[in-house]
Amino acid sequence: MQNNIWNEKASNILKSELIRKNIDYNELSILLNTLGIQENYNSIANKLSRGTFSFSFFLKCMDAIKVTTLKLD
């Protein structure tokens, strides 16, 4: 049960950064693909809706959308 809370929190942080940068899942997939990371709209949507993605995926997304600092409250 507690993992669900952390999964949801991780997903919400990533979604918030995407909103802040005005980037949708399709654009994120394009940005990731330019870094050599093969993701598509559906795979990203599924990962974020489940909240089950690796920390390395999270970091790749942050790199793709040019987030260099993150404030956790």
**Would you say residue 72 has pLDDT above 90?**
no
* Residue with token string 């956790």: 72
Identify the band that residue 1 occupies on the pLDDT scale cut at 50, 70 and 90: low
State the average pLDDT over residues 22-48: 97
- Structural domain boundaries in the chain: 2-64
pTM score, two decimals?
Answer: 0.90
Q: Which two tokens stand for residue 42?
A: 């559906």
Identify the band that residue 32 occupies on the pLDDT scale cut at 50, 70 and 90: very high
State the average pLDDT over residues 37-48: 97
Identify the band that residue 4 occupies on the pLDDT scale cut at 50, 70 and 90: confident
Q: What is the DSSP string of the chain?
A: -HHHHHHHHHHHHHHHHHHHTT--HHHHHHHHHHTT----HHHHHHHHHHT---HHHHHHHHHHTT-------
